[in-house]
Structure 1
Amino acid sequence: MFLEVIDPSTGQQTWKVADENYDLVQEIARSAFGDMMHDTERNQKYERGLKSLKAKGEEVHVIDIGTGTGLLSMMAARAGAGRVTALEMFKPMSVCAEKVFHQNGYEDCIRLIASRSTDVIDEVSDEDKGNVIVAEVFDTELIGEGALRTFKEAHQTLAKPGCRVIPSAARIWVAPVQSDFLMRFHRPPSTSDLKAAATCLNCPGAAAVQDIQLSEIPPEKIRLLAEPFIAFSFDFEDGPSITYYETAFKTFEAQSSGTFEALIMWWDLDMDGTGRCMLTTAPKWLEEEAHWRDHWMQAVYYLPESVPVHQGQQIILQCSHDEFSFWFAAQQSAE
């Protein structure tokens, strides 16, 4: 690849050959690593979870899955873990983590394996298995980065029976809404001067979830039709209970009449298994102490068909997920 640059000695435009890793370096620079590293609430609650395990007085061997820059591994070592094994599949980040461990004096107590956690077989013997798993493998949709398989297979190949996990559990929260503002992201509005084509009006939308900073949208532009409720719960400490495909039916009561058009979604994590150290991505107008962050947002799911609802009506919502995503439909309603 050639880059157009200004020669500082002549002031003229010229060309130079780019480093073979130019694209990769640019991609890393534009990624959300910096935003994650400076997410103070996230970091503090992960560290609190790690410290709570050492406080129990048992020997701790931490397996850090997707270590990235190595921050959580160093937190584990600082919290008193006897051993730490860090796994990172992305070569540039594993090189970065190795340098970070060395510069901070942790190279002797943290073992780095440059591999995907689900591919590690020979590197971890039964004696090398950990009794604590820590991982930050979440996105706006919680499971979009493969968190379900990461935790399920970690119990099978990397962890001892009874292994603790940080975070220990997660919950998916949804709230049914009516919002002309949000619907304009989904399909073009029709006016007296502009009629959208039928193909546009009937388009099911993109396969990818719409992530959005709901805290930045005035509450009056999104009308809640019912109180938020839990669509799914995941127990990361119980490997066999983690399933990649699931459908559940949730019934909620409409608190106001309107048109059920979409669901807004966020999640929370139980960082220490007690329910007292929770990390949430709820919007600020639902959770006053919620922290603003850009690497995790909230999500919007549009129904295949909008459903008229009446105050007091019982609505049955079909909630489904596969290994990486969620989808929803108002299957039926009952008076």
Structure 2
Amino acid sequence: MRPTSMASVIHKTLKATSLLQLLTRLTHTQQSFALFTATAAQSMDPGTTQRVFQLKLDPLTGNSEWVVIEEEEEEGFSQNYQKPLLATTSYLDMLNDSRRNRAFREAIDKTITKPCHVLDIGAGTGLLSMMAARAMGSGDSTRDTGSKGIITACESYLPMAKLMKKVLRLNGMERKINVIIKRSDELKVGTDIPSRADVLVSEILDSELLGEGLIPTLQHAHDMLLVEDPLTVPYRATTYGQLVESTFLWKLHDLHNNEAKASDGIRLVSPGLNTNLRIKSQQYAMHCDAIREEIKLLSEPFKIFEFDFWKRPDSHGENEMCIKATDDGKVHAVVSWWTLQLDRDGTIFYSTAPRWINSSLARNSSDAAQGSVDWCDHWKQCVWFVPGKGMSVFKDEEVHLHAVHTETSISYNLKNQVPSSENIHYGSCAGDLELKLSPERIAVYGDREWRVSILTAIGNALQERVNSLCMVADDSVFLPLLVAHLSEKSHVISLFPGLRQKGIKDTHQKQVDLLIGEPFYYGNEGMLPWQNLRFWKDRTMLDSLLSRDALLIPCKGILKACAMSLPGPVDIYLHRKRFPCLPFFVWQCGEFKELSEIFTVMEFDFSELIRLRHGKVQVKFSQPGICHGFALWIDWVMDSENSIMVSTGPDKRYWKQGVRLLPTPITVGTYGSRNVGECCSAVLEASFDPSNGELIVVPNFS
């Protein structure tokens, strides 16, 4: 059988929803899957009820709904939306970053030496504002400053602003700091603040540095809110980069050349054609320390851009760099990071550099000497992928790198890159047919082991069906092509979001005898692994359309777990009443240690309609250590013989796991040990609620 390409299937009309329609519609429906948050206050007057309107995605249906969060409700969330605010944002890890907090405190103490007007933009929990208050003596009743300073904390996100007010009240500073719930570019001197501010303190940075609007925020602040030549903390930010070779990073974007190695004949990216599938051309945040052993450094670190907080930045900048290769190899990516100079004198620094960088660019040397390793997920390094197979270089060869920054992003171009004939498939595409996927999804589609598993399971199923009606329940691009490749007589319906009702009507009264899914949903990329049990919800909804002997692929989901030792403090949970599971790439989260064997918590049988499930299992620890929580994931059983399984565990690096942290770390020993203070076993209970897709996990130690 000749290879099946996307192009050939696009021009072949399927008797149900065509792939052309599918791709066209998906391009326009992807954006609706994003989680958007909007806030509005009914009234800012004291004594009146404030409400937050938040758009929430239902993982089991793909639909979104607005939920109203009342001011009086505990933790700022309603009973219908019970995830704690801090636990679902990067604030949790950021507040636990002792190096960051210490560096900002030292710089603020050094910068603010007398009463003045301090503006904190993006104040969050109010930590920097409280540091400024203490530096001025506003938070110390025993210190006589002779006059009073002004501290304005600007925070536009209402739930966070409300939390900040509680934090200030608990610290006795609610009267020392003026909280304004507005965007900084909405502030008016003379209305919101009495005068221009003398000092700016802020931390509106992401892993790329610019993604949270640093440049436009600073531009407006210098134009409208700050005095001339203000003091700022931070004082300056500098971005750095390094050329690297890494097969792992290459697999995250080069689907064309990975598919060329596959023997299944399926081609999502056709040679010589502009690609329909690719990742977005941007930098991607990643903990690169976790793949240090798989990275070959091909250059010394080089400076890319410098941004001064104390003066108005430009919206656009370019930099031409000539970089000398330090070794022979193939440049697959540019790894980048940033370093903050927090004080004007240049004595206090903080950096997101990977640990292989020397101490002059990396984090505080005293921390490095102590070997401290935190588990943090708020700032990472960034990776920019070199298109195609990468660029071959020889030691001492000069590589010309062109860097461009806009108001919100940084991009690169290697001037002496591979010839265009080798990477023509990375060019622009016809708008309606262009589909941009995450790097992890691209890597999955190019993964030989994954493709063999899926092909074998569906190939075996199609052998039992003649003229089958196959329905693809998720947003897979690979599966419709695979079915068309394996069986020319099969009819395929793809139930992408937005096409579900159309697809159901196009069955022409014929029953579906093969329901398949990867399962993987575009809208769930940032969600927990069991929320892909939406496949079970779809199977239940489609029950009346399925034949009595319909085959389901996958046929079962197995919730797996493992007790973990995870570096870094989790003290922020000590005073919380609820402990949710958080989505993480566990392999990126530092040096973790498995303390138990992998065990099964519960199973989800897709031959049944979706229902409440409960699991309870005793955990026997196989390694001594400090248990910080449990990693959980789903293994998908693809056939009824249980012979083909697709795992999404920590050793499979293209999927996120759910991490259930404990309120306090617990010392554990091997099962049967009798050491004082050690737990040798635990009981893990889990309940799955089919009405909302939530999984409640409760560990009990003994």
Question: CA 1:27/1:147 → structure 2, altered by over 3 Å: closer, same or farther?
Answer: farther
Between Structure 1 and Structure 2, whose CA radius of gyration is higher? 2
**C-alpha distance in 2 between matches for 1:291 and 1:38:** 12
**C-alpha distance in 1 between matches for 2:67 and 2:213:** 32
Identity of aligned residues (%): 30
**C-alpha distance in 2 between matches for 1:316 and 1:65:** 37
Higher alpha-carbon deviation: 64-73 or 101-110: 101-110
**C-alpha distance in 1 between matches for 2:284 and 2:195:** 41
**C-alpha distance in 2 between matches for 1:319 and 1:64:** 31
The answer to whether the 8 Å contact 1:50/1:79 transfers is: yes
TM-superposed deviation, 1:83: 1.8
Q: 1:193 aligns with which of 263, 266, 276?
A: 263
**C-alpha distance in 2 between matches for 1:243 and 1:41:** 30
**C-alpha distance in 2 between matches for 1:327 and 1:214:** 18
Q: Which has the higher contact order (CA 8 A, sep 6+)?
A: 1
**Is the aligned partner of 1:69 residue 2:125?**
yes
**C-alpha distance in 2 between matches for 1:125 and 1:311:** 58
RMSD, aligned α-carbons: 2.5
Higher alpha-carbon deviation: 90-99 or 19-28: 19-28
The answer to whether the 8 Å contact 1:140/1:298 transfers is: yes
Alpha-carbon displacement from aligned partner over 1:2-36 (angstroms, at most 9, x marks no partner) = xxxxxxxxxxxxxxxx9732476637331111111
Question: CA 1:19/1:182 → structure 2, altered by over 3 Å: closer, same or farther?
Answer: closer
TM-superposed deviation, 1:262: 1.0
Q: 1:168 aligns with which of 216, 235, 246?
A: 235
Q: Number of residues paired by the alignment? A: 312
Q: 2:285 aligns with which of 211, 218, 226?
A: 211
Q: 1:320 aligns with which of 400, 404, 411?
A: 404
TM-superposed deviation, 1:236: 1.1
Secondary structure of 2:227 counterpart: strand
The answer to whether the 8 Å contact 2:112/2:132 transfers is: no
**Is the aligned partner of 1:42 residue 2:42?**
no
Alignment match, 2:694? none
Amino acid at match of 1:309: V
**C-alpha distance in 2 between matches for 1:69 and 1:135:** 12
Kindly report which structure 2 residues correspond to 1:53-132, keeping only aligned pairs within 5 A, or say none.
53-55=111-113, 58-80=114-136, 82-122=149-189, 128-132=195-199
**Is the aligned partner of 1:137 residue 2:174?**
no
Question: CA 1:120/1:291 → structure 2, altered by over 3 Å: closer, same or farther?
Answer: farther
Higher alpha-carbon deviation: 205-214 or 108-117: 205-214
**C-alpha distance in 2 between matches for 1:143 and 1:291:** 26
**C-alpha distance in 2 between matches for 1:86 and 1:127:** 13
TM-superposed deviation, 1:284: 1.4
TM-superposed deviation, 1:275: 2.2
**C-alpha distance in 2 between matches for 1:327 and 1:169:** 20
The answer to whether the 8 Å contact 1:284/1:291 transfers is: no
**Is the aligned partner of 1:226 residue 2:307?**
no
The answer to whether the 8 Å contact 2:254/2:387 transfers is: no
Question: CA 1:316/1:43 → structure 2, altered by over 3 Å: closer, same or farther?
Answer: same
**C-alpha distance in 2 between matches for 1:126 and 1:100:** 22
Higher alpha-carbon deviation: 122-131 or 260-269: 122-131
TM-superposed deviation, 1:141: 0.7
In structure 2, the gaps of 5 or more residues are 1-54, 56-65, 70-77, 138-148, 360-367, 418-702
Alignment match, 2:223? 156
Higher alpha-carbon deviation: 157-166 or 102-111: 102-111
TM-superposed deviation, 1:124: 5.2
Higher alpha-carbon deviation: 208-217 or 21-30: 21-30
TM-score (norm: length of structure 1): 0.85
Question: CA 1:250/1:192 → structure 2, altered by over 3 Å: closer, same or farther?
Answer: same
TM-superposed deviation, 1:59: 3.3
In structure 1, the gaps of 5 or more residues are 2-17
The answer to whether the 8 Å contact 2:129/2:153 transfers is: yes
Amino acid at match of 2:120: D
TM-superposed deviation, 1:207: 4.5
Alignment match, 1:51? 109
Q: 1:246 aligns with which of 307, 312, 317?
A: 317
Secondary structure of 2:356 counterpart: coil
**C-alpha distance in 2 between matches for 1:19 and 1:195:** 47
Alpha-carbon displacement from aligned partner over 1:188-247 (angstroms, at most 9, x marks no partner) = 424363567362785542245321111112x331111110101111111111xx112222
Alignment match, 2:83? 26
TM-superposed deviation, 1:92: 0.9
Secondary structure of 1:301 counterpart: strand
**C-alpha distance in 2 between matches for 1:208 and 1:323:** 14
Amino acid at match of 1:76: A
**Is the aligned partner of 1:299 residue 2:382?**
yes
**C-alpha distance in 1 between matches for 2:91 and 2:158:** 15
The answer to whether the 8 Å contact 1:49/1:271 transfers is: yes
Question: CA 1:195/1:184 → structure 2, altered by over 3 Å: closer, same or farther?
Answer: farther
**C-alpha distance in 1 between matches for 2:169 and 2:399:** 57
The answer to whether the 8 Å contact 1:62/1:133 transfers is: yes
Question: CA 1:196/1:287 → structure 2, altered by over 3 Å: closer, same or farther?
Answer: farther
The answer to whether the 8 Å contact 1:69/1:97 transfers is: yes
TM-score (norm: length of structure 2): 0.42
Higher alpha-carbon deviation: 19-28 or 263-272: 19-28
Secondary structure of 1:304 counterpart: coil
Alignment match, 1:11? none
Secondary structure of 2:347 counterpart: coil
Question: CA 1:104/1:172 → structure 2, altered by over 3 Å: closer, same or farther?
Answer: same
**C-alpha distance in 1 between matches for 2:211 and 2:82:** 24
Question: CA 1:167/1:291 → structure 2, altered by over 3 Å: closer, same or farther?
Answer: farther
Amino acid at match of 2:188: I
Question: CA 1:195/1:249 → structure 2, altered by over 3 Å: closer, same or farther?
Answer: farther
Question: CA 1:132/1:204 → structure 2, altered by over 3 Å: closer, same or farther?
Answer: same
**C-alpha distance in 1 between matches for 2:270 and 2:197:** 52
TM-superposed deviation, 1:310: 1.6
Higher alpha-carbon deviation: 196-205 or 272-281: 196-205
**C-alpha distance in 1 between matches for 2:266 and 2:107:** 52
Amino acid at match of 1:77: A
TM-superposed deviation, 1:76: 0.6
**C-alpha distance in 2 between matches for 1:256 and 1:174:** 16
